Structure 1
Amino acid sequence: MKPNVLTVAGSDSGGGAGIQADLKTMLALGVHGMSVVTAVTAQNSLGVQGAWELPAEAVRAQYRSVVDDIGVQAVKTGMLASAELVETVAELLAGTDAPAVVDPVGISKHGDSLLADSALDAVRKKLLPVATVATPNLDEVAQLTGVRVETEEQLREAAAAVLAYGPRWVLIKGGHLSGDAVDLLSDGTEEHWLRAPRYDNRHTHGTGCTLASAIAAHLAMGRSVPEAVTAAKEYVTGAIAGGFALGGGIGPVDHGWALRRGLS
């Protein structure tokens, strides 16, 4: 049977990020994707026009419905919007015997806030401590820890600052730096530097969701954290290379690139 992977995140009506990106990634990587919707956004290639979070009881009911009957081999979290939802999901993850990939989504690709300021402390104290892997980008590192990264060497400082909140591993995504796309995976003692070419392609909407979902998919297959992150980095690099125009703004990455390569 296929491994089951659950995404707990917001809906992107434009289909490039959030729940939609997560499920496309899981399909492409050969696992069965399931979802807990935490928020609904009105969103397109130009930005987020509106966002409405679901009640905590609705999030809890979706989660229990899936986990108690079907079971999960990995869970991925994305947009959680409020302190109440962060605390609810952290409690659910703590009671689930499966690796958890936490993408601490704070700001959209277009600069729109997707996490209330009041929820930051809950992310630090409740959510990060139950994460198997946390995957913040540099803006999210600054938002959570105050550490601002401007050079590749500072990725170590960022990793240490996030690890202080308790995740087993952290992947600091250095995509906002110049030069190659360099990420640092660390558990505080072991380091893995992941480097990929930077493609001259502005259509990168959904990159963070896609990467975190790919990590969860590979963990569900039984791979170690370094193996899962390395394979996910390869997948998202191909997706970025295939990013395409959609609407009048920033288009999405191509979640189906690996499927088409496999069928050719």
Structure 2
Amino acid sequence: MASSKILTKDCAKLLPTRLAVHVSNPPLVLIFGPLDPSGSSSLPADAVTCSALGCHALCTLTALTVQDTARTEEIQPVAPELIDDQARCLLEDMTVQAIKVGPLYSAESASVLAQIAADYSHVPLVLHLQRLPDSGLNSELEEEDLLLAVFELLLPQTDIVVADHHMLEHWHAQGMFGDIDADRPAEALLQYGAKWVLSTGAPLRAGQGSYLLQGPDRETATWPWHAPANRLLDADGPLCCAITAALAQGRDMPGAVESAINASAAFTARHFQPGMGQRLINRSAA
């Protein structure tokens, strides 16, 4: 009986701490992306990253993939109607503080995302633009239609676009930005309606790269960028998650980007090679 009383007292001491944990809810972020079974990118990797940054991740799948650390063998896009149902079910149940959008695989999916973003325009939206997969992995992929839908429908609803500078230059050279008259591709994204654009690996001066942030009223900011010492899968994934988390926590855009660059550097410094392919970022390390 004495030991039971001691146990009761010990539990009583812990009670206020446990109550405090329940009262302090983490910010909620909604992530759109494919399910990567290797855990190297998108979902569930982004959910692990957001958790490490103090946020709770809700997820909406845009595709299922068959892949390992070396290659992607198949992509099965999720129907746009199901993407819409998944997202709205979550958004109507919980108060989301920020949204991150990863790879999309059809113009119809981009259109659905644009309508959701318009309906929840008060929620910051981070768009991670990435290289499109080989058409052999998804026979239904129409690259030009998808990019046109992203540029014309989704960018006007986007608070910040994160993209590799060299990929944007390639799209620019291919004429993917249509009739937009811009000397630099990041400026084209701003003309389509994105509020801010963060280019990674943008040239700053000879032999030196930068993170280049461009925003309203010609606002710009730069931070040093260094190519990863090792070839990593989804190297910019933690950066996009960190920006999303910072916006969910109430930071303004330049402050969110600066803190995210610092946070992502800590993530990408930790990596490992679990298989025969590329190295993965260790997103779970404290």
Common fold by TM > 0.5: yes
Structure 1 residues not aligned, in runs of 5+: 149-155
Range moving further from structure 2, 216-225 or 39-48: 39-48
Match of 2:152 among 113, 125, 140: 125
Cα RMSD, aligned residues only: 2.5
3-state SS of 1:61 partner: helix
Deviation by residue 1:23-57 (Cα, 9 ceiling, x = unmatched): 01100100111100010111111111100001111
Match of 1:106 among 106, 131, 141: 131
**Does the 8 Å CA contact 2:202/2:212 hold for their aligned counterparts?**
no
Instruction: Say which one has the larger Rg.
Output: 2
3-state SS of 1:246 partner: coil
Once the two structures are TM-superposed, the CA of residue 161 in structure 1 deviates from its matched residue by 2.2
Once the two structures are TM-superposed, the CA of residue 237 in structure 1 deviates from its matched residue by 1.4
Structure 2 residues not aligned, in runs of 5+: 1-24, 176-182
3-state SS of 1:136 partner: strand
Q: Is residue 239 of structure 2 the alignment partner of residue 185 of structure 1?
A: no
Aligned to 2:188: 161
Deviation by residue 1:212-235 (Cα, 9 ceiling, x = unmatched): 111111100000111111111112
3-state SS of 2:236 partner: helix
Which amino acid is 2:189 matched to?
V
- Mapping 1:1-264, distance limit 5 Å: 1-96=25-120, 97-107=122-132, 116-117=142-143, 118-142=145-169, 144-146=171-173, 157-174=184-201, 179=207, 182-188=210-216, 189-202=218-231, 204-257=232-285, 260=286
3-state SS of 1:91 partner: helix
Which amino acid is 1:46 matched to?
A
Deviation by residue 1:36-91 (Cα, 9 ceiling, x = unmatched): 00101111111111000011111011101110011200000001111110111111
User: Structure 1 pair 30/179, CA: closer, same or farther in 2 (3 Å)?
Assistant: farther
Once the two structures are TM-superposed, the CA of residue 209 in structure 1 deviates from its matched residue by 2.4
Which amino acid is 1:182 matched to?
S
Q: Among the aligned pairs, what percent are the same residue? A: 29
3-state SS of 1:6 partner: strand
User: Structure 1 pair 169/112, CA: closer, same or farther in 2 (3 Å)?
Assistant: farther
Residue-pair matches, total: 249
Once the two structures are TM-superposed, the CA of residue 113 in structure 1 deviates from its matched residue by 7.3
